[in-house]
């Protein structure tokens, strides 16, 4: 059996499961935590030139097109849904997770309400969770043509853009949201940020089940007292951001929900994305729930 490669996702569960031996206890003996190079404590600060800010069309979906190196990895459920339907892996259908997420602005911004964001450039990741959820959150308040999205790279890039003043607003989630809130940025509206897992072709469902059994034990630890584990955020926060904040004040972050990602969730999410023309027609996959999603009977 090949090594089960796990791509962490800026959350606490994998680090707890590793350090407390939960993966081994669940029967997953040969595994490796392997973070993405742009989402680690050593990640460099990237350019905030005009091209980098506004023409960055490399997002979460593109990483699945190119092929991730993990047996299991996570991204927003919109992206995993669309990638699985296009046969870039299979969505794990036995659970999902929810992360805190919000659109934020600098403390001195005149923006106070969602309606004030009309025509304001909001920095998001292209075909990534922040892209979809910003539209979803603002549709009750603004017309489509009033929502102005600028594609500003990955979550850490958007923190950099908020800090150096090149982003008048940005959508951030998880530890990046905790960073900017602690630094005084103002939340305008909470967003729904649902996350799904993708398992690579050839991965045994039983190994994915063992992986999630370990995360279930870690989730129980977080639920009881997350403060004991917030230091794990330092494993993935870029050092330039970590030294600005006190992670002891951070919240529990992403929470895994051990309930199925249902066929209704799959179909309604896919339809929502298609209706908003987020993908070119030739990029939209047509795999059914049974074809795209792994369930354990």
Q: Is 51 exposed, middle or buried (0-12, 13-18, 19+ CB in 10 A)?
A: exposed
Confidence of residue 58 (pLDDT cuts 50, 70, 90): confident
**Ramachandran region, residue 53 (left: φ > 0; alpha: ψ -120 to 50; beta: rest):** alpha
Reported pTM? 0.94
* pLDDT at residue 37 tops 70: no
Confidence of residue 42 (pLDDT cuts 50, 70, 90): low
Mean pLDDT for 164-177 is: 96
67 or 39, which is more confident: 67
Nearest to 18 by CA among 35, 1, 41, 42: 35
Confidence of residue 56 (pLDDT cuts 50, 70, 90): low
* pLDDT at residue 92 tops 80: yes
* pLDDT tens digits along 197-214: 999 988 999 999 999 999
Confidence of residue 172 (pLDDT cuts 50, 70, 90): very high
Nearest to 203 by CA among 89, 58, 42: 89
Q: Does domain 4-280 have CATH number 1.10.3720.10?
A: no
Mean pLDDT for 209-223 is: 98
Q: Report how far residue 56's alpha carbon sits from residue 212's, in angstroms, rounded to the nearest whole number.
A: 33
Confidence of residue 292 (pLDDT cuts 50, 70, 90): very high
Tokens read off for 221: 């630890």
* pLDDT tens digits along 280-289: 998 899 999 9
**What does the pLDDT read at residue 68?**
87
Domain residue ranges in the chain: 4-280
* pLDDT at residue 45 tops 80: no
* Cβ atoms 214, 28 nearer than 8 A: yes
């Amino acid at each position: 059996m090949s090594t089960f490669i796990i791509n962490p996702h800026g959350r606490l569960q994998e680090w707890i499961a590793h350090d407390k031996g939960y993966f081994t206890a669940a029967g997953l003996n040969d595994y490796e935590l392997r973070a993405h190079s742009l989402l680690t404590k050593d990640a460099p600060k990237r350019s905030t030139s005009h091209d980098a800010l506004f023409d960055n069309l490399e997002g979460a979906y593109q990483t699945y097109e190119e092929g991730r190196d993990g047996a299991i990895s996570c991204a927003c459920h919109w992206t995993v849904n669309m990638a699985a339907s296009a046969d870039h892996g299979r969505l794990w259908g036995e659970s999902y997770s929810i992360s805190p997420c919000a659109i934020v602005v600098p403390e001195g911004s005149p923006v106070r309400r969602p309606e004030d964001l009309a025509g304001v450039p909001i920095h998001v990741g292209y075909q990534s969770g922040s892209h979809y959820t910003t539209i979803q959150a603002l549709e009750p308040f603004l017309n489509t043509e009033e929502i102005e999205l600028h594609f500003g790279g990955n979550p850490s890039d958007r923190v950099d853009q908020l800090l150096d003043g090149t982003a008048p607003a940005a959508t951030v989630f998880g530890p990046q949201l905790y960073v900017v809130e602690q630094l005084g940025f103002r939340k305008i509206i909470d967003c729904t940020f649902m996350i799904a897992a993708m398992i690579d072709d050839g991965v045994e469902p039983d190994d994915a089940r063992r992986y999630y059994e370990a995360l279930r034990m870690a989730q129980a630890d977080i639920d009881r007292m997350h403060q004991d584990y917030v230091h794990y955020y330092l494993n993935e926060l870029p050092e330039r951001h970590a030294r600005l904040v006190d992670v002891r004040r951070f919240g529990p972050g992403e929470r895994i929900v051990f309930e199925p990602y249902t066929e209704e969730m799959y179909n309604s999410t896919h339809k929502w994305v298609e209706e908003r023309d987020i993908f070119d027609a030739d990029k939209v996959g047509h795999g059914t729930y049974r074809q795209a999603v792994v369930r354990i009977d």
